[in-house]
């Protein structure tokens, strides 16, 4: 969902104050009450820089949960580039990351120049310091509706490049000059994967599809109108095997969703100003007590030695298992050879050094 710059700024200021206050209390030994239960979950999860080095598992719901065993999508691939890298949100359940890579390849084959990848999840998921109610269990990803440029962007360009606003903010209709058949093909391809349950788009985009898609329209069922999502679409996959406490969402109705529910979005009601704009958002007040109990263990679990060690490099979906170092003498790490990686590299085993840049430490949230 949409990232709000202005609120982010004031929130980070408050976070800094809170962090400072907590630090002082700790120093002065004034924490008489156990503070953990009251600690805001977004501060704890937002501070995690690496995933857990444990088996992949999602806990809870898309908007109230966390996940273990995350992997990162590399900053660059032949058919994608990661945007806003300083946010450190290129993490997801391995099945999600593998699917994004697949979509990027299929989309290029369909005539889309490549994916610009927005927020996926924090390394261990959980509520975020800024933006997004969901994206907490590694099964949501935002993909820009702006085609990938034909050059590799610098870090600075990835932080500053603007996405294209596809929808007129007054009429809530797609800007016809910007919409192309390739946009439609990209959404159709994303919806074609059985594991994708929903794709959130702006109501104007849903309407454009409803008005123009000919032939097979069954995939429109998965395309769901929602506020925002006018620069990017949001792809959500279902709970994955190995996650018994992951809570699925209701199935979407069987029809194409182009009738009455869509018409509601073109009434005045959904766009009325928020009566209580200063009311805190759920993610801002969530404590650890609000999250599945496993999320405490997720915070405490050991991580991989580096982000690169938990970066997905294609092949089979990696299954990461934490454990003691193997007793058999480990093979010496192969000398560096750029881009030459085992096809099914374990996400947390030592991997040869890559040509791809190692992610920078996360700068303070801005």
Q: Give the C-alpha distances (Å, rounded to integers) separating 124 from 95, 162, 291.
A: 15, 27, 13
Q: Please tell me whether residue 294 binds Zn ion under the rule CB under 5 A.
A: no
Residue with smaller CB distance to Zn ion, 140 or 308: 140
Which residue, chain included where needed, has tokens 């170092």? 325
CA dihedral sign of residues 141, 147, 149, 154: negative
Q: Which helix (H) or strand (E) holds 200?
A: strand 196-201
Which tokens in the block code for residue 114?
């490549």
- Our finding on whether 1 is near Zn ion (CB under 5 A) is yes
Q: Per CB under 5 A, which of residues 197..236 are in contact with Zn ion?
A: 234
Quote the least distance from Cβ 289 to Zn ion, whole Å. 26
Give the nearer residue to Zn ion in terms of CB position, either 121 or 365: 121
- Residues in contact with Zn ion, counted by CB under 5 A, come to a total of 3
Task: Considering the complex, state which of residue 142 and residue 294 has its C-beta at the smaller distance from Zn ion.
Answer: 142
**Binding range to Zn ion, per CB under 5 A, among 1-9, 176-184, 287-295, 324-332:** 1-9
Q: Does 186 bind Zn ion (CB under 5 A)?
A: no
Least separation, in Å, of the C-beta of 67 and Zn ion? 16
Report whether 88 contacts 123 (CB < 8 A): yes
Q: Phi first, then psi: what are they for 283, rounded to 5°? A: -65, -20
Q: Is 89 in the site for Zn ion (CB under 5 A)?
A: no
- CB of residue 96 to Zn ion, shortest distance in Å: 12
User: Residue 103: CB partners within 8 Å, gap ≥ 6?
Assistant: 115, 143, 189, 190, 193, 235
Q: Provide CB contacts within 8 A for 341, sequence distance 6+.
A: 313, 314, 351, 352, 354
Closest to Zn ion by CB, 64 or 234: 234
For residue 343, give the 3-state DSSP assignment: coil
Q: Say if CB 67 and CB 95 are below 8 A apart.
A: no
With respect to Zn ion, which residue has the nearer C-beta, 127 or 303?
127
> What's the rounded Cα separation, in Å, for the pair 70 and 17?
30
In the complex, the smallest distance separating the C-beta of residue 140 from Zn ion, rounded to whole angstroms, is 6
Q: Which stretch binds Zn ion (CB under 5 A): 91-99, 106-114, 142-150, 311-319?
A: 142-150
For residue 142, state whether it binds Zn ion (rule: CB under 5 A).
yes
Residue 256 engages Zn ion in binding (rule: CB under 5 A): no
Closer of 8 and 297 to Zn ion (Cβ) = 8
Where do contacts with Zn ion occur on this chain (CB under 5 A)?
1, 142, 234
């Amino acid at each position: 969902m949409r990232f709000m710059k202005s609120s982010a700024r004031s929130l980070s200021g408050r976070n800094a104050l809170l962090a400072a206050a907590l630090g002082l209390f700790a120093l002065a030994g004034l924490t008489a009450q156990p503070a953990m239960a009251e600690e805001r979950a977004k501060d704890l999860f937002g501070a995690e820089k690496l995933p857990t080095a444990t088996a992949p598992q999602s806990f809870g719901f898309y908007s109230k949960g966390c996940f273990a065993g995350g992997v990162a999508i590399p900053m660059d691939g032949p058919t994608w580039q990661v945007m806003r890298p300083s946010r450190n949100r290129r993490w997801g359940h391995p099945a999600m990351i593998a699917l994004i890579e697949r979509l990027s390849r299929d989309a290029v084959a369909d005539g889309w120049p490549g994916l610009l990848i927005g927020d996926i999840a924090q390394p261990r998921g959980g509520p975020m310091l800024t933006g997004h109610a969901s994206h907490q269990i590694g099964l949501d990803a935002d993909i820009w509706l702006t085609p990938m440029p034909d050059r590799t962007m610098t870090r600075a360009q990835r932080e500053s490049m603007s996405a294209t606003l596809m929808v007129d903010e007054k009429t809530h209709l797609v800007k016809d000059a910007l919409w192309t058949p390739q946009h439609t093909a990209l959404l159709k391809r994303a919806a074609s994967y059985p594991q994708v349950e929903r794709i959130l788009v702006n109501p104007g985009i849903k309407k454009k599809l409803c008005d123009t898609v000919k032939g097979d329209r069954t995939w429109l069922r998965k395309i769901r109108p929602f506020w925002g999502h006018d620069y990017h679409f949001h792809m959500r996959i279902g709970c994955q095997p190995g996650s018994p406490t992951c809570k699925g969402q209701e199935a979407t109705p069987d029809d194409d969703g182009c009738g009455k529910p869509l018409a509601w979005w073109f009434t005045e009601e959904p766009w009325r100003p928020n009566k209580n704009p200063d009311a805190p958002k759920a993610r801002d007040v969530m404590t650890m007590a609000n999250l599945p109990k496993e999320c405490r263990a997720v915070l405490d679990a050991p991580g991989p030695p580096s982000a690169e060690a938990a970066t997905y490099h294609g092949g089979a979906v990696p299954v990461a298992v934490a454990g003691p170092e193997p007793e058999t003498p480990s093979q010496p790490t192969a000398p560096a050879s750029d881009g030459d990686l085992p096809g099914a590299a374990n996400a947390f085993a030592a991997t040869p050094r890559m040509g791809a840049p190692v992610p920078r430490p996360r700068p303070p949230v801005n």
